Every structure is written in C-alpha cells, then in structure tokens.
Amino acid sequence: LGTWMPNANSMCCRLCERTFTVVRRRHHCRMCGELVCNQCSPHRARLGDGTRALEGMGITAL
C-alpha cells in the first residue's frame, strides 16, 4: 500500500485534474495513496468493520 498524500497537498483530482469542492470530495486510493475524486474512484470494498473504502485502480498501477 502506498503512503497517503496529505489532503492539503492537492487541490485537484490526480486523474481528471478537476478541483476538489464540497460536492467533488477527496478520496484516497487504497492502492497508491493518491487523492482522487468520487467520479474517478468508482471501485469500493467493505472493510471488516462495515465501512466502505476505495479499492484498487491505483494511479501508480496505470
């Protein structure tokens, strides 16, 4: 797993480069740790405690 990029380090999605807003929120890729928007992170997984998390599709894997 990659090191998570701090939220303050990115004002836009690493994939589509659209600015994060109240509606277009930041999400960390669990594979590479980069910040992506909801539209660029369609894959989800359930964690053991029942919470949802982003899954796969790491930028470094592309």
Residue 44 CB contacts under 8 Å (≥ 6 apart), including other chains: 52, 53, 54, 55
Residue 10 exposed, middle or buried by CB count within 10 Å (0-12, 13-18, 19+): middle
Kindly list the domain boundaries of the chain, sorted by start residue: 1-62
**Radius of gyration over every alpha carbon of the chain, rounded to an integer in angstroms:** 11
pTM: 0.66
Q: Place 58 in a pLDDT band, splitting at 50, 70 and 90.
A: low
The CATH architecture of the domain made up of 1-62 is 2-Layer Sandwich (3.30)
Give the model confidence (pLDDT) of 10-45 as tens digits: 999 988 999 999 999 988 877 778 888 888 877 666
